Chain A
Amino acid sequence: MLSGAAAAAATAVVGLIVWKLIEGAWPSVTKFGLHFITRVAWNPVVGKEAFGAASFLFGTAVTSLIALALAGPLAIAVALFLTELAPRALRAPVTALVETLAAIPSVVIGLWGIYVLGPLLRDHVEPSLHSALGFIPLFGPPSTSGSSVFTAIVVLTIMILPIVASITRELFLGVPREQKEGALALGTTRWEMVRGVMFPYARGGIAAALILGLGRAVGEAIAVTQVIGGGPFIHWNLFDTGDTLASKIAASYQGAATNLEVASLVYLALILLVFSLLANLSAHWIVRRVGRRQGIGLNRGGAA
């Protein structure tokens, strides 16, 4: 059965990815073990080789969690606008525009990030944040080049906003009309209806959408590499440079010197893979658990 074989092959690809990454990372796994995860080091000089993922894990966590915190509420608000507030004539075009934002390639967003967004943040946003909130270690001295963790956060926010918004929009469209109208008929304001009826109904789905958005932010390599500046450091200043798991891999594409460095890069990719599997399976599990009563398209927005 040809089509059965194709389905088997599609499933086998996922297994093959897991196997190939474990195999590729093995020299680094046997040498560094799980200490790889907690060590801050990236020294490819032969004889003094030391590799660790801690600074990249830290960078990944800081950039993607803050980006999710910024994009999540914004995306939910956009979805509410599209389902509840927008005049009928605006709904289809604005939905199309929001989804078009998701279609822009990351390398183009990154290019824009380097030459438009980065300088803009450096000259106008970072100095004012530093002078107003400088007592918080997150808002340290502004960057000199425009490349910073902060620029990466803004770029990631832009990239996950349309994904979370379009999934959330579908969830809101699935809220039964009777429940919404029932609440309004009881005299609630529109916002109280949203809070009392739509949010509880879509809660599980929104959680899944946020997890998928997080997965996308964690896995984004190109745009982050272009704007984050690089460097294996752990520091709290958002306006300084940094690296994430994905950006470190992408930045090393031409220059991996030794086999151990290559294996360590694959080790980073393996960590990313494990995270993306966990994120997708947990989102799926949440949707299955809460979603028996409502249909949600898990693959909308195409997480990369």
Chain B
Amino acid sequence: MSTHSLTQAALRAEGLPRRRAINRLMELLAWLAAVIAVGLLVLVVWSVARRGWSELNLDLITKTPASGFLATGKQGLANAFAGTIVIVLVATLMALPTGILVAVYLNEFAPAAIRNAVSLTLDVLNGIPAIVIGIFVYGLFVLGHGQSALAGSFALAVIMLPLVARSTMEVLALVPSSLREASLALGAPRWRTTLSIVLPQTVGGIVTGTTLAVARAAGETAPLLFTSSIVGTQIHWNPHHALQSIPVAIFELSESPDPQDHARAWAAAFVLLLFILFASLTARWLATRGRRKLSTSR
């Protein structure tokens, strides 16, 4: 029905009780939808917390998995924790500088046509399924050279890059142009203006975006399956080897027939979830604080 006929009906106050009843029904449905959405979150977090909490102990992060047939009893996932730290750290070191440079170029230097084209490419990159990125890096680095944590980090960096670049662009756009103009008017070249005047204003936003990207990368399984999954049970820190990671460990344990493995999967999922919830809530808090600061300084 068009807006016109709706307002016609409204003006004549036709069938008011029926229209009110429909309105109430729709409002009720929207409330119900919101309850379902929040309920789902509570349900998932609660299940993970309840099953993970009882299995949580220090062994999980200090001991390596038991290996061999005779090894029973609970052992930890220390190798997976070490591996995730290495892989995500290296991925961040790759994605963060690149992402910031891309954003600075697009926002401060690029002509509009290039800016639009590269922004679109970043969106497209962001939309490519993680498993496809995994296969891509498998073809690029793993085939012929073997798996390594570096290959896994590169795959995660490809996923983080558009996130970091996009969030940096958003804060760069908030920096008042009067600041740039003041610096240029004092005779500072553009690179100097960007480096010393514009970028310091955006540190908060970049930290927020990076935190979100790290939270996302820490939970990604698909890019690591083909790049860093064939691993031993020992703790390694060398990124030239394939390293175990938390998400891949959860994935493998979840498909195991042994209930003790499920228990470890829940415990690891609980730790991962705590980290991700903590990181995204911190990022959200930083973002609202930073936005307030930028808008009042203007």
Contacts and interface: CB of A to CB of B under 8 A. Distances in A.
Interface stretch (B53-61, B128-136, B200-208, B290-298): B128-136
B3 interface: yes
Contacts of A246: 129, 131, 222
A84 to B, nearest CB: 8
Contacts of B117: 11
B215 to A, nearest CB: 6
Interface of A is mostly: helix
A300 to B, nearest CB: 10
Interface of B is mostly: helix
B243 to A, nearest CB: 16
A195 B109 contact: no
B124 interface: yes
A98 B37 contact: yes
A107 B98 contact: no
A105 B276 contact: yes
Interface string B1-35: 11100110111010000011011001101111110
B6 A74 contact: no
A82 B30 CA distance: 9
A195 B139 CA distance: 49
A276 interface: yes
B34 A86 contact: yes
Contacts of A187: 7, 10-11, 13
B19 to A, nearest CB: 5
Among B159, B226, B229, the one with the most A-chain Cβ atoms within 10 Å of its Cβ is: B226
Interface stretch (B68-76, B180-188, B232-240, B264-272): B264-272
B62 interface: no
A78 interface: yes
A299 B121 CA distance: 11
B277 A100 contact: yes
B196 interface: no
The size class of the interface chain B forms with chain A is 35 or more
B189 to A, nearest CB: 13
Nearest to B10: A187
Contact of B222 (A10, A186, A250): A250
Given A1-B109, A269-B131, A189 B22 contact: yes
Contacts of A74: 33, 36-37
A107 B251 contact: yes
B10 A107 contact: no
A279 B216 CA distance: 22
A215 B131 CA distance: 13
A8 B117 CA distance: 11
B130 A14 contact: no
B284 interface: yes
Contacts of B20: 189
Given A7-B102, A220-B129, A273-B132, A112 B165 contact: no
B85 interface: no
A3 interface: yes
Interface in B247-291: 247, 250-251, 254-255, 262, 265-266, 269, 272-273, 276-277, 280-281, 284
Interface residues of A, number: 94
Nearest to B273: A108
Given A9-B98, A21-B139, A189-B20, A273 B128 contact: yes
A267 to B, nearest CB: 10
Interface string A175-210: 000000001001111111011110010000000000
A235 interface: no
B274 to A, nearest CB: 11
B44 interface: yes
A254 B109 contact: no
Contacts of A200: 3
A262 to B, nearest CB: 8
11 contacts: A7-B106, A16-B136, A85-B30, A107-B219, A108-B48, A108-B250, A189-B22, A196-B7, A222-B131, A250-B131, A253-B229
Interface of B: 1-3, 6-7, 9-11, 13, 19-20, 22-23, 26-27, 29-34, 36-38, 40-41, 43-45, 47-48, 51, 97-98, 101-102, 104-106, 108-110, 114, 117-118, 120-133, 135-136, 138-140, 143, 158-159, 161-163, 165-166, 215-216, 218-222, 225-226, 229-230, 247, 250-251, 254-255, 262, 265-266, 269, 272-273, 276-277, 280-281, 284
